[in-house]
Structures are given as C-alpha cells and as structure tokens.
Amino acid sequence: MAAVVTGTGIAAAGVASPGQLLDGTGPVADPGFDPAALLGGRGLRYKDGATRLAMLAGKYALDGAALFDETGAVAGSESFAVVVSSNLGNLHTVCRAAETIRGQGVAGTSPMDLPNASSNVVASSIAIKFGLRGPNLMLCNGEASGLDAVHWAAVLIGSGRARRALVVGVETTNAYVRELAGDVFDGAAALVLEDPGSAAARRAPALARVGAYVRGTGTADSVEQDLAGTPVGLVLSEAGQATPPTGPDARVCDLDSVVGPSSGARGVLQCALGAHWLGDGGHGGVLARSGHRADGVATLVLHGAGAAR
C-alpha cells in the first residue's frame, strides 16, 4: 500500500506555517481571518464554518502539490478521492435546526441550511468545490478519526480505487461545541496523497511516504518492523501515550498543548506537520499517535520520501 504526500495545508486563524506549531507556538489572535474571502468565488454563502475551513485547507494542499492547471481545475480529478475526518464539524447546524424544529416546526427551517446537517456535508462540499470525482468518505469515529482518514486514503490509492486523495481533518469552535466539549481547535489541516508512480510521472516532489498503520493501545509488531533500522526523529503524540524508544535527538510534539484539543482534526494535523518536517530536511521516521483506550488508538508512521521501503 504505497502512497506519498505531495502537498499540505493548514487553515486556522493565526497559524502562518506548520513550523510554527512544531516550534510550540500556538495560534495567535487574528480577527481578520476569513476563510470565505481567502477562498473567493461563489457558492460559499450558505456553507458552515467547518466546511469553509476544510475547503481552504484543501485549496492550500492542492496548490502546494501543484495540481491546479491554468484554468483553475484540478488535474486528474476523475480519480481523485476525498476523505474527511470531523467529529464536531457541523454540530452547530444540527443543533440549530433541532431547536428551530422544536420551537417553530419543520416550516421554520431554511431549505438552504438543512443540507449542512448531513454528516457527509464537508466531504461532499469539498468534492463539488474542486470537481473531485473519486470515492468520497467522511469519518466521524472519535479521537483516532484523523489518522484513520489518512490510512483509508492510502488504502484507496493502494487498491487502485484512486490515484490521488485529498485528506482533510477539521473542527470548529462555537457555543454548541463549547457546551459539549469545551474549546477545541478551530481550524483544518489537509494532505494530498498520491500513488508514487503518478507523482513521479508529473515530477512532483514528495514530502513523505505513508508507512505502517495500526489500531490498538500498544505498539504493534507491524509498526516496530516498519521502523526497524529507522530512528524515530519526530513523535507526534498526546502526553502520556506510550511510544517506541526514540533517539536522544528526537523531537516530541503534543499538539493538544499547542492548539488545544483537536478531536477529528488531530491525526491529519499530525501528518501535515510530520510531512512538513520531513520535507524540510528532518531525519528519521515520524510516529503519529492519536486516540484513547475508550474509543480506540491509532498509530501511523511517516518516512522520508526517499527512504527504503
């Protein structure tokens, strides 16, 4: 199952680059941050906040992978999958619609707003926005959801169902989310994954290669074997989670301490930072781990694009 990362994108107020988060500098206040204005174009008026953030991160990743042609269309769109992870993304729309129905009945709802109550709205909206006509998946399965999304995108590519995939993790903060989960990361991260042959054919430089993935609270043999002979240079994990031994120079980054809880966005954000680190000359493997014992733990390895399989 081979897939390489050729583009990354982060859309969050006050985040200028992945390196900022890796260095431990969290988002800074930016009242002028407006995803709709940065996206431009039509069709955004009735999109919810999570969808706009996800579209913007996706745009940055596609641009970073040099996949927009001279007309603004995405190359290879007929075999381009979309996989999105979000646990709380459209909670605002769902709760607001429920309150309206309770107080005014169905007649009080807006026909323009109700489509946003679909659990798949972020993934489907991204596909429509960029004309991506491959498989379309939305994952909403807890803290490990983001790493699961990266894995399943790699599965789609490895099985021949798609040549490329846009993977997005997004969460957003609002009154309903705060009541349920407190303040969470208000932003999105995106990756472009490609079949290595497709990337090579268009001479696209790869930032990283997707390695082993496993579900479970321990460190599985497949991860240990995948890392055999490769020192872990960067660990992206929540504080307190067990990880394989690392070298003395390994960097450790707990994103929750930098951006706050990021739920379904965490795993994609981890991989975006890991791919950036490797593409910027980082040495060794990247180990990303996310999730809790109650709803599952996922572990995923990234290697430098030129590392031996």
Clarify whether residues 30 and 158 are in a common domain: yes
Angle between helices 49-64 and 121-130 (to 10 degrees): 40
Mean pLDDT of the chain: 88
Q: What are phi and psi of 87, to 5 degrees?
A: -100, -25
Q: Alpha-carbon distance 75 to 68, whole Å?
A: 6
| Interval 11-67: pLDDT, tens | 999 998 888 999 888 888 888 899 999 998 777 888 889 999 999 999 999 999 999
Final residue in a domain of this structure, among 144, 175, 201: 201
Q: Domain check: are 172 and 220 in the same one?
A: no
**The domain containing residue 51 runs over which residues?**
4-201
Domain shared by 110 and 189, yes or no? yes
Residue 162 CB-density burial (10 A; 0-12 exposed, 13-18 middle, 19+ buried): buried
For residues 129 and 136, is the Cβ–Cβ distance under 8 A? Answer: no
What is the predicted pLDDT for the residue at 116?
Answer: 81
Same structural domain for residues 196 and 231? no
| Count of the separate structural domains present in the chain | 2
Nearest to 74 by CA among 19, 10, 141, 126: 126
Q: 182 and 62 in one domain?
A: yes
What are the Cα distances from residue 272, in Å, to 104, 146, 168?
A: 44, 11, 10
Cβ-count burial 285-294 (b if 16+ within 10 Å, e if not): bbbbbbbeee
Whether pTM > 0.85 for this model: the answer is yes
In a domain, residue 206? The reply is no
In a domain, 61, yes or no: yes
- Domain boundary pick from 149, 175, 201: 201
Q: Please report whether residue 290 resides in a domain.
A: yes
126 plus 12 within the same structural domain: yes
